[in-house]
């Protein structure tokens, strides 16, 4: 196109101001306000300008595009002004699904967040004394209660655990502080306890946890030097003992979380590590990751070490996540000997890694459920405790409500998993909806389910779409029915 013709077209473009005031944009203007409309119209016009420059639009094309400007502006407003973060239905059966936001919060925890968020609070204010307070008192008090209840003898154990020559006068109770996530907790602990020194870790525990948390990398950032011992499958207590020298600051045990090493393996017991740590006067830290606060055997999960197991066993500091097995908000918790925790609190990194009032509110409410033994209030624990029969009955009910036709649903046995790096090998028996649709591939079917509102996220296995209602809230079951009903009308 000649440049003369192009400048002719440019002249036909209406001005942004003129369009904003045009009657055809009045409704959108009323709904979204002048700023949003002006921006959307401006970018619509800019797009037309580009198309004219690159010769994509002639006179007729421009006429059509201008007529369609309403639709384009509306679509743009919808994308820009709607939330990108939105609820989805987790039908994968993975309870702590990292990509889907890990633990859903308890209703009462959210109510607490609302209260704390909507008004001022005593976050850092001592109401009685009328002066500045500390934000960590809010959850520390509940942790003390939980720990004292489960470990009546812990306080004494910890007191006797102070190695000779290490501030024996310091009160050796257990304290807890909260940071942004467990990765931050590990970073803070390593930096506080071992910066400039060495940390001994077994080669079998140099793990990567989803989202690029790698022990060697975090170690490097903390300023501590990693001292690897043993081999991938076998590490003995003697391996730790051999490398301890005057630069050794910490023995670190890392929960393998997302995998297991089986076969010809060996790993020192916590007792052996505690004994060695005591003998040499070096603290022992355990990065638990998932960190259950109660014994999960009552929920059918075997062999998942709890935070209390570690502390009871004499571990000096335990780090764990708030949004894994604990079932609360994203947070990293450090529980351990008060004098070590006090050092971490005094580290300026703690200030950089601290959490917001909303996290404290949600965490405190979640912990209260534990203190009151109201485990059913914590969604992650509630989902874990559902029986295969309960889930099966709901699956039957969903299947019976989907009109028979192209969609075929079978109810089959399957397994739900905990996820979030917890109990890698423990699975929970469940019943699954196995869905196929004639003429539609399983991948296409799962894509259509994701396109529902709210999106339904499912698993695809052996040419079928599998839906596990364990992770679907019962009040969402009807949305699964709707989604299955609509996958055929695409
Ligand atoms: C999950 C996990 C982490 C990381 O915790 P975030 O809360 O995701 O930061 C670190 N270590 C272990 C052993 C874990 O399981």
Number of separate domains in the chain: 3
Q: Indicate the top mutation candidate among 99, 189, 216, 321 to test ligand 1's pocket, ranked by most ligand atoms within 8 A of CB.
A: 321
Least confident span in 197-201, 328-332, 375-379, 418-422: 418-422
- Selected residue with higher pLDDT from 162 and 411: 411
In a shared domain, residues 112 and 194? yes
- Whether 100 maps to a domain, the answer reads no
- Whether 223 maps to a domain, the answer reads yes
In a shared domain, residues 77 and 225? no
Q: Locate the ligand 1 atom nearest the alpha carbon of residue 255 and give its number.
A: 13
Nearest CA to ligand 1 atom 6: 182
> What's the CA gap between 220 and 191, in Å, rounded?
10
Distance 175 CA to ligand 1 centre (A): 20
User: Any idea what the CATH number is for the domain that residue 137 is in?
Assistant: 3.40.640.10
pLDDT at 348: 97
In a shared domain, residues 37 and 174? no
Quote the Cα angle for 161-165-168, to 5°: 55
Question: pLDDT exceeding 70 applies to what percent of the chain?
Answer: 93
In a shared domain, residues 172 and 186? yes
Task: Enumerate residues 6+ apart whose C-beta is below 8 A from 438.
Answer: 406, 408
Nearest CA to ligand 1 atom 2: 289
- Span 149-166, pLDDT tens digits: 776 655 444 444 445 444
- Span 189-213, pLDDT tens digits: 999 999 999 999 999 998 777 667 8
Q: What is the arithmetic mean of pLDDT over 22-50? A: 90
372: left (phi over 0), alpha (psi -120 to 50) or beta: alpha
Nearest CA to ligand 1 atom 5: 182
In a shared domain, residues 297 and 402? no
Q: Do residues 318 and 344 lie in contact, with contact meaning Cβ atoms separated by under 8 Å? A: no
Question: pLDDT exceeding 90 applies to what percent of the chain?
Answer: 65
pLDDT surpassing 70 at residue 423: no
In a shared domain, residues 149 and 281? yes
Q: DSSP alpha helices (H): ranges in 337-473? A: 338-346, 348-353, 357-371, 379-385, 388-401, 442-450
How many residues are listed for the chain in this entry?
490
In a shared domain, residues 414 and 332? no
- The ligand 1 site (C-beta within 6 Å) comprises 181-183, 209, 213, 254-255, 257, 287, 289-290, 321, 332, 421
- Whether 99 maps to a domain, the answer reads no
In a shared domain, residues 373 and 404? no
Domain that holds residue 73: 3-81
**pTM of the model as a whole:** 0.86
- Whether 89 maps to a domain, the answer reads no
pLDDT at 258: 63
pLDDT surpassing 80 at residue 1: no
What is the average pLDDT value for the chain, to the nearest integer? 90
Q: Indicate the top mutation candidate among 100, 421, 424 to test ligand 1's pocket, ranked by most ligand atoms within 8 A of CB.
A: 421
Q: What is the arithmetic mean of pLDDT over 421-426? A: 69
In a shared domain, residues 366 and 444? no
In a shared domain, residues 370 and 394? no
> What's the CA gap between 111 and 105, in Å, rounded?
10
The sign of the torsion formed by the CA atoms of 13, 16, 22, 27 equals positive
Q: In what order do the strands lie in the sheet with 427-437?
A: 94-96, 407-419, 427-437, 464-468, 459-461
- Whether 474 maps to a domain, the answer reads yes
pLDDT surpassing 60 at residue 168: no
Read off φ and ψ for residue 360, nearest 5 degrees.
-60, -45
H/E run at residue 258 = none
In a shared domain, residues 61 and 148? no
Distance 199 CA to ligand 1 centre (A): 18
- Span 271-306, pLDDT tens digits: 999 999 999 999 999 999 888 999 888 888 887 889
Distance 182 CA to ligand 1 centre (A): 5
Q: What is the arithmetic mean of pLDDT over 455-460? A: 97
- Whether 333 maps to a domain, the answer reads yes
Quote the Cα angle for 358-364-365, to 5°: 95
User: Any idea what the CATH number is for the domain that residue 402 is in?
Assistant: 3.90.1150.110
In a shared domain, residues 196 and 271? yes
Q: Which residue has the tokens 């973060």?
A: 85
Distance 323 CA to ligand 1 centre (A): 10
pLDDT at 152: 60
pLDDT at 440: 93
């Amino acid at each position: 196109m000649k440049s003369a013709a192009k400048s002719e077209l440019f002249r036909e473009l209406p001005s942004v101001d003129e369009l904003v005031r045009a009657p055809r944009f009045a409704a959108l203007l009323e709904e979204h306000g002048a700023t949003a409309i002006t921006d959307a119209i401006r970018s619509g016009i800019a797009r037309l300008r580009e198309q004219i420059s690159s010769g994509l639009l002639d006179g007729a094309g421009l006429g059509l595009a201008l007529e369609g400007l309403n639709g384009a502006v509306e679509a743009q407003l919808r994308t820009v002004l709607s939330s990108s973060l939105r609820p989805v239905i987790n039908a994968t059966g993975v309870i702590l699904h990292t990509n889907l936001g890990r633990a859903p919060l308890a209703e009462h925890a959210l109510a607490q967040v609302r209260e704390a968020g909507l008004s001022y609070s005593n976050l850092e204010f001592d109401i009685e004394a009328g002066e500045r307070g500390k934000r960590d008192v809010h959850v520390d008090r509940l942790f003390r209660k939980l720990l004292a209840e489960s470990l009546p003898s812990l306080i004494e154990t910890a007191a006797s655990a102070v190695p000779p020559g290490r501030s024996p006068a310091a009160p050796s109770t257990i304290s807890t502080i909260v940071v942004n996530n467990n990765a931050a907790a590990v970073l803070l602990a390593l930096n506080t306890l071992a910066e400039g020194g060495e940390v001994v870790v077994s080669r079998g525990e140099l793990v990567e946890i989803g989202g690029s948390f790698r022990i060697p990398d975090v170690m490097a950032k903390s300023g501590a030097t990693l001292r690897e011992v043993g081999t991938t499958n076998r590490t003995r207590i003697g391996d730790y003992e051999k490398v301890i020298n005057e630069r050794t600051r910490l023995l670190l045990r890392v929960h393998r979380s997302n995998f297991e090493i089986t076969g010809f393996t060996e790993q020192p017991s916590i007792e052996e590590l505690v004994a060695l740590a005591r003998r040499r006067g070096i603290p022992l830290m355990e990065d638990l990751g998932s960190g259950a606060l109660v014994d999960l055997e009552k929920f059918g999960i075997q062999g998942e070490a709890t935070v209390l197991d570690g502390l009871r066993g004499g571990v000096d500091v335990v780090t764990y996540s708030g949004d894994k097995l604990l079932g609360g908000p994203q947070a990293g918790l450090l529980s351990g000997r008060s004098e070590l925790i006090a050092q971490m609190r005094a580290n300026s990194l703690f200030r950089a890694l601290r959490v917001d009032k909303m996290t404290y509110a949600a965490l405190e409410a979640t912990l209260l459920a534990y203190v009151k033994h109201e485990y059913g209030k914590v969604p992650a624990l509630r989902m874990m405790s559902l029986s295969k029969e309960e889930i099966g009955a709901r699956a039957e009910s969903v299947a019976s409500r989907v009109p028979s036709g192209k969609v075929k649903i079978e109810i089959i046995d399957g397994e739900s998993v905990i996820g979030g790096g917890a109990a890698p090998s423990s699975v929970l028996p469940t019943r699954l909806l196995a869905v196929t649709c004639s003429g539609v591939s399983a991948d296409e079917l799962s894509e259509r389910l994701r396109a529902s509102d709210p999106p339904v996220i499912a698993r695809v296995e052996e040419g079928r779409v599998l839906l596990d209602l364990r992770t679907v809230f019962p009040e969402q079951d009807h949305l699964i029915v709707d989604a299955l009903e609509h996958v055929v009308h695409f």
